[in-house]
Amino acid sequence: MAQDHSFTISHEFDAPVEKVFAAWTDTDQLKQWFAPQGYTLLFAKSDIKPGGETHYCMTSKIGIEIWRKLFYKDIIAPAKLSYTGVYSNEKGGIEPHPMIKNFPIEIFTTVMLDEKKGKTVLDLTWEPLNASIEQITRFSDETFELSQEWGGTFERLTKYLASN
């Protein structure tokens, strides 16, 4: 039996599923919230559709830059979004994580949305792809930090949804 090395986090938003889905699939909305607390987001390229690609940079208040590229697989409104994310440089070349040694370079993300009584339950799963044993171990060691980062990102999304 294969081991599950994925990371999953859930969050409930006080907004209809269509509104939450739009926040994940519209570049102008993503700019407002799609980064951990203390980071801003700049898109070099954004083509959010099946087979599309997005290239962006998250910049911290002290100037740390984390470049990523997303390669979209599924976009099924308003229930599912999936993509492979890689760490990259400003030119789009694939590189290791700039701050975490031996972190997986490729992560497959699945976002599932379900509306219940006017609220949206979101389940996000991160799965390392093409990762070595060392990278999988490092990924497993980072689950607390991932929970903190995604939790902060979801707080930003909560505030964004409430103000729009």
The helices-and-strands tally (H runs, E runs) of the chain is 4, 7
Confidence band of 36 (pLDDT split at 50, 70, 90): confident
Give the pair of three-digit tokens for residue 31.
Answer: 């700019």
Confidence band of 29 (pLDDT split at 50, 70, 90): very high
Per-residue pLDDT reduced to its tens digit, 88-121: 999 999 999 999 999 999 999 999 999 999 999 9
Domain locations in the chain as residue ranges: 8-163
Question: CB of 84 within 8 A of CB of 108?
Answer: yes
Confidence band of 1 (pLDDT split at 50, 70, 90): very low
The whole-angstrom separation of Cα 26 and Cα 36 is 18
**What pLDDT is attached to residue 2?**
46
The whole-angstrom separation of Cα 13 and Cα 17 is 9
**What pLDDT is attached to residue 159?**
97
The whole-angstrom separation of Cα 47 and Cα 77 is 16
Per-residue pLDDT reduced to its tens digit, 120-147: 999 999 999 999 999 999 999 999 999 9
Closest CA to 147 of 118, 131, 125: 125
SS (H, E, C) 112-134: EEEEECCEEEEEEEEEEECCCHH
Beta bridge partners of 41: 58
**Residue 3 pLDDT > 90, yes or no?**
no
Give the fold, CATH level 3, of 8-163.
Alpha-D-Glucose-1,6-Bisphosphate; Chain A, domain 4 (3.30.530)
